[in-house]
Amino acid sequence: MRSVKLGLVVILLGILGVACKRLNISPLFETKVENSDVNNWIYAKMKEYYLWEDDMIDVTKTDLTLAPDDYFKSLLVEPGVVDRFSWIEESSEELRNSLNGITSTYGIKTQALRANNSQNVSRIILSVAYVVKNSVAERKGLKRGDIITKVNGQDLTNQNYNSALRDSESATVTLGTYNKGYIDDTEVTIEMTKEVTQSNALQHYSIIELANKKIGYFVYTQFLTSNDNDLNKMFGEFKSSGINELVVDLRFNPGGYISSAELLSSLIVKNLDENKVMTRQIWNAEQTEERIRQYGSGVFDTYFFKSRSGIGNINNLGNLDRVYFLVSNGSASASELLINNLKPFMEVILIGQHTYGKSVGSITIDDDQDPKRWSWGMQPIVLRSVNYLGEADYGTPDGFKPDIEVVDNIIPYKPFGDPDETYLFKALEDILGSDTMATLRKGAKVRPLAVLEPVQMDYVSDNPLNDRKEMWTELTPNK
C-alpha cells in the first residue's frame, strides 16, 4: 500500500507541475514561502497582459521571496527607459478610487518657485495653482494665487518642498504676501486635515468676448467619466453661444480614462465623421489574438461618434479650424492622447512647456476570487495608441513640444479666465494679435507682479496619487 500511495503522490505532483508549466509559473509547492502565492499570481497576470511580455525575465530567474511590490518591479522591462509607467498598489480599492478622482487630500495643487524675502534671503515658496472644488482647502478659504511660505511652521527647502504637504495628514500653512519684489510671511495661518474628496475635473469654464471673437475656455484637470455629462453640457453652451475659438487648459492634467479622452475628441473635432478612426490600440500578441476572438477584428479601432450611451447626443462644435491647448510637463497620457487624436483633422496649437511623453495605457488588475486572497492591485502597461495616421511620436520624455513656449512663473497667479493670466494671454495674443492685446491692456489696472525661478516645471498635488501620469481603459471594450 505504501508504494501505491507514493505513486499517487508522484502522479499528482507531476500533474501540478505540468499545469504550472502551462501557465509559465513556478509550481507553488517548490517555492512555498511567504509571498510565493501572490508573486506567482503577479507573474502569471503580467505574462498574460503586459505589453512587453515577450521581453520579460523567465520566472525561474525571479525571486519569489520578494515583497510583492518589489517582485512586480523586478519584472518590468528596462524600468525608466522602456517601461516608465507600470505600477502597483497594496490596496486595489485605493488604486481604483484614485483613478476615479477619489483620494485623501487637502485639495490643492502647487508650483514650487524660488523667491527672496525682504531681507534678501533666498527661499522656496509654493504658489497655489488651483484648489479642488468642495475640498477642505476651498472651505478654509485657500484659492488660486495664494502663496504658501511655511508648512507646520517649517521653511520650505530643496529637501522638503515636495513632501511637506504630501507626508502629513494634518497641516498648518503660513500664507505669504508679495511686496516690492519680495515674498514675506504674513500672520495668516490655515489649519487643514486631509479628507476623502471626489475631484471635479471641470475646474473652470467661460466664454471670453474680445475684439469680435467669442473664445471658449475651460480648465480640465483629469479625464474622469464622472464629469463626461458636464463636459457635454458645457460644449452645448459653447455651441449655442457661437464660439469661434477654443482654448483647452490641460496644464494640470496628468491623464485618466481613455473613454473620456475619446468623448472630448469627438466634441472638438472639425467635421465629425463617424467613419473616421480616432485612435487605434496595439496590444501584445496573446491579447491581440484573444481580443479578436472575443470581440472581432475591429476591437482595436475607436471611431469618432455623435452619441454615446449614458450621455446621448454629443454637442460637437463642428466648425472650428483650430484648437489651442495650454500644456505643461505635467500634461500627460490621456491629455496627450486627446492632442494626438485631433492632429490629423484640424490645426492643433500647443502653448506652454513640452508635455510629459506617454503614449501607452494600462488596465487595473486585482484578485478576481471571492473572497479576495490579497488586496494588491496592479496597473501594468498593456497597450500603445496611435492616431488616424498611425502616429504616436510623443512617447519620449520630451513629449509634444510647444508651438509657443511660456513659463508659468509670474505671481501672484491671476484667476482662470482672466485675459491677462500668463498662459491664457499667450493664446489670446496668438488669436487676436499682439497689437490688439496691447491696445486692450491700455488703461487696465496693472497689479504688481514678480517673475520667479521655478524649482521644478511640474505642478504637485498634496497626494501623489493625484499626480499619476495615466491613461487607462477597462478590459472589456467600450463599444
**Which residue ranges of the chain lie beneath pLDDT 50?**
1-31
CATH of residue 382: 3.90.226.10
Give me the helix-helix angle, 258-268 and 334-342, nearest 10°.
Answer: 30
* Set of cell numbers at residue 165: 504637504
Q: Are residues 214 and 230 in the same domain?
A: yes
Domain assignment present for residue 92? The answer is: no
Is 239 in the same domain as 187? Answer: no
Strand ranges of the sheet holding 365-366, from the earlier edge strand across to the other edge: 87-89, 377-379, 365-366
User: Of 198, 220, 247, which residue constitutes the final position of a domain?
Assistant: 198
Q: Do residues 276 and 342 both lie within one domain?
A: yes
Claim to verify: residue 111 and residue 259 sit in the same structural domain: no
Domain match, 65 and 114 both: no
Q: Same structural domain for residues 110 and 223?
A: no
Same domain, 124 and 206: no
Please check whether residues 137 and 72 belong to one and the same domain.
Answer: no
User: Can you spell out the DSSP letters for 72-139?
Assistant: HHHHSSSBTTTBS--EEES-HHHHHHHHTTEEEE--EEEEEEEEE-TT--EEEEEEEEEE-TTSHHHH
User: Does a structural domain hold residue 43?
Assistant: yes
Is 184 in the same domain as 208? no
Q: What's the total number of domains in the chain?
A: 3
Answer whether residue 11 is part of any domain. no
User: Do 59 and 74 contact (CB within 8 A), yes or no?
Assistant: no
Question: Which residues contact residue 236 at a Cβ distance below 8 angstroms, ignoring those fewer than 6 apart?
Answer: 315
Report the SS3 class of residue 326: strand
pLDDT for 2 equals 42
The neighbour count for residue 306, using CB atoms within 10 Å, is 11
Q: Is the CB of residue 217 less than 8 Å from the CB of residue 426?
A: no
Task: Give the total residue count for the chain.
Answer: 479
Same domain, 332 and 405: yes
Domain assignment of residue 100, yes or no = no
Please enumerate in sequence order all residues whose Cβ is within 8 A of that of 167, keeping only pairs 6 or more positions apart, or say none.
none
22 domain residue, yes or no: no
Same domain, 119 and 249: no
Residue ending a domain, choose from 177, 198, 219:
198
Q: Is residue 395 part of a domain?
A: yes
Going from the C-alpha of 91 to that of each of 105, 135, 361, 374, 378, the distances in angstroms are 17, 23, 20, 9, 9
Query: At 117, which CATH number?
Result: 2.30.42.10
74 inside domain = yes
Q: What is the pLDDT of residue 475?
A: 78
Please give the share of the chain, as a percent, with pLDDT higher than 70: 91
Asked, for residue 13, whether it belongs to a domain, the answer is no
Domain that holds residue 180: 105-198
Same domain, 232 and 359: yes
Select from 138, 165, 198 the last residue of a domain: 198
Residue 174, H or E segment: strand 170-179
